[in-house]
């Protein structure tokens, strides 16, 4: 497990930000570069069937070391980082034996990682933290998962006395822009079930995620000189604000938690003549998910009735709650629970307030709940992870493989 930090630090220095505007697969060249780097590493470790395809999907296999007929288990992570913040020139900082105080990330800009803002830090006194330098995200989402999977299979190779079935691993591109499962070959992967290693704090175990949709609204206005605008101008920016005000304020991300869903305005770009809004819609309940889409449609219909046909709405479902696909094979959750308990970890089964490749893969025939990485505050400059948490994630993977062999 000693290599896990160095491995992670090496991965995060390769820029792999996904690009939603790109039509290529993967959407950014850095993902392919990282994939090739990891493929060479996997071959050097002795893994078999190491392959990176033209779409940037990297797969490999660790053969079973027993003649017992055992299930094939997969472990999956994604190579891209979120476009929400720069992942270029990541310069991680290692804070050994964190003392519980403020961490000055960027002295020039006065950017501070503080337990006043992030109370979870108070539970991590004495741990070793890896943080950003305040100018980029860290990339623990999901390069920590990659480092943990690679370290786990290396551990199994170096400790050949631990019986295990065949282990399949996959590292995918473009998860952050909703395309991670688009070209995933479930049949070719050949696992009976899998786990994404893409969660947060130690102990997280998740098999419920949001139902998700994206919404694009274009509002077409009419621009004339403001001096002669009376009864002529239609200001698309004002209409956009009016439409946003029709959505429930208490159903925004900053006011929701647990199973509560939301409307999230991701972006607004506009002029008097034309304004474009980008929303995402999320809810764990399919009924409430559909209700939210109806609320947005009704708001657009009202705007069109009031101002004429000025608004165009495009709604697109992204993924669905995997719970219905996991419950029939709930033993894969129980297996992960037992593995954590053996390691002294308290499992925290909770809904994902987001999505993973696993949600789509579950609907594609590969049940795929989510394991923790040990990271916090993904997608921004306050992202950090503990080295101890990373090691526990890798050991949980090992323990799952051991338990699956023992229970046959």
Per-position b or e across 167-194, b if 16+ CB within 10 A of its CB:
bbbbbbbbbbbbbbbebbeeeebebbbb
175 is catalytic: yes
Domain stops at, among 281, 296, 319 = 319
What does the block give as tokens for 124? 């991590």
| pLDDT tens-digit readout, 51-93 | 999 999 999 999 999 999 999 999 999 999 999 999 999 999 9
Residues 315 and 227 in one domain: yes
Domain stops at, among 319, 347, 369 = 319
Residues 270 and 196 in one domain: no
Q: Which of the following is catalytic: 19, 141, 148, 175?
A: 175
Residues 69 and 181 in one domain: yes
Burial zone of 99 (CB within 10 Å; 0-12 exposed, 13-18 middle, 19+ buried)? exposed
Domain containing residue 10: CATH number: 3.40.630.10
What average pLDDT does the structure give for the chain?
97
Mention every residue, 6+ apart, whose C-beta is less than 8 A from residue 340: 203, 205, 346, 347, 396, 399
Residues 239 and 350 in one domain: no
List the domain range (segments joined by +) for residue 16: 4-209+321-406
| Dist. CA 185–CA 57, nearest whole Å | 9
Domain stops at, among 302, 319, 336 = 319
| Dist. CA 367–CA 371, nearest whole Å | 13
Q: How confident is the model at residue 408 (pLDDT cuts 50, 70, 90)?
A: confident
Q: How confident is the model at residue 217 (pLDDT cuts 50, 70, 90)?
A: very high
Q: How confident is the model at residue 37 (pLDDT cuts 50, 70, 90)?
A: very high
pLDDT score recorded for residue 35:
98
Residues 255 and 373 in one domain: no
Residues 148 and 21 in one domain: yes
Reported pTM: 0.90
Q: How confident is the model at residue 359 (pLDDT cuts 50, 70, 90)?
A: very high
Residues 27 and 143 in one domain: yes
Residues 244 and 361 in one domain: no
| pLDDT tens-digit readout, 141-183 | 999 999 999 999 999 999 999 999 999 999 999 999 989 999 9
**How distant, in Å, are the alpha carbons of 11, 196, 237, 273, 352 from that of 225?**
54, 55, 16, 12, 49
Residues 301 and 336 in one domain: no
Q: Count how many domains the chain has.
A: 2
Residues 272 and 379 in one domain: no
Q: Which of the following is catalytic: 15, 19, 80, 383?
A: 80
80 is catalytic: yes
Mention every residue, 6+ apart, whose C-beta is less than 8 A from residue 225: none
Domain containing residue 253: CATH number: 3.30.70.360
Residues 251 and 292: beta-carbon distance below 8 Å: yes
Residues 260 and 338 in one domain: no
Residues 137 and 181 in one domain: yes
């Amino acid at each position: 497990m000693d290599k896990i930090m160095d491995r992670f630090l090496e991965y995060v220095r390769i820029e792999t930000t996904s690009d939603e505007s790109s039509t290529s697969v993967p959407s950014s060249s850095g993902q392919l570069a990282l994939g090739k780097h990891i493929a060479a590493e996997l071959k050097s470790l002795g893994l078999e069937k190491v392959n990176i395809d033209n779409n940037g999907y990297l797969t490999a296999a660790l053969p079973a070391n027993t003649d017992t007929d055992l299930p094939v288990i997969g472990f999956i992570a994604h190579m891209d980082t979120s476009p929400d913040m720069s992942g270029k020139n990541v310069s991680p900082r290692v804070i050994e034996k964190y003392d519980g105080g403020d961490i000055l990330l960027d002295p020039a800009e006065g950017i501070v990682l503080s337990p006043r803002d992030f109370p979870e830090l108070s539970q991590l006194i004495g741990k070793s933290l890896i943080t950003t330098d305040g100018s980029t995200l860290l990339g623990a989402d999901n390069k920590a998962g990659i480092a943990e999977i690679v370290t786990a299979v290396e551990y199994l190779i170096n400790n050949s006395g631990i019986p295990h079935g065949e282990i399949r691993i996959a590292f995918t591109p473009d998860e952050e822009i909703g395309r991670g499962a688009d070209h995933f070959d479930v049949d070719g992967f050949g696992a009976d079930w899998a786990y994404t290693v893409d969660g947060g704090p130690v102990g997280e175990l998740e098999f419920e995620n949001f139902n998700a949709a994206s919404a694009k609204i274009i509002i077409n206005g009419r621009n004339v000189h403001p001096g002669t605008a009376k009864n002529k101008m239609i200001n698309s920016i004002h209409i956009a604000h009016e439409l946003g005000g029709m959505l429930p304020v208490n159903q925004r991300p900053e006011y929701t938690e647990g199973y509560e869903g939301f409307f999230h305005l991701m972006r607004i770009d506009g002029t008097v003549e034309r304004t474009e809004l980008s929303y995402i819609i999320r809810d764990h309940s399919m009924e409430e998910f559909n209700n939210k889409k109806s609320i947005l449609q009704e708001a657009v219909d009202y705007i069109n009735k009031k101002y004429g046909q000025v608004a165009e709405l495009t709604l697109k479902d992204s993924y669905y709650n995997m719970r219905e696909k996991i419950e029939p094979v709930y033993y894969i959750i129980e297996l992960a629970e037992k593995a954590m308990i053996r390691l002294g970890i308290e499992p925290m089964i909770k809904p994902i307030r987001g999505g993973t490749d696993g949600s789509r893969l579950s609907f594609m025939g590969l049940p795929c709940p989510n394991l923790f990485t040990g990271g916090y505050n993904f997608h921004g400059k306050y992202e950090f992870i503990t080295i101890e948490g990373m090691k526990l994630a890798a050991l949980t993977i090992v323990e799952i493989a051991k338990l699956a062999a023992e229970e046959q």
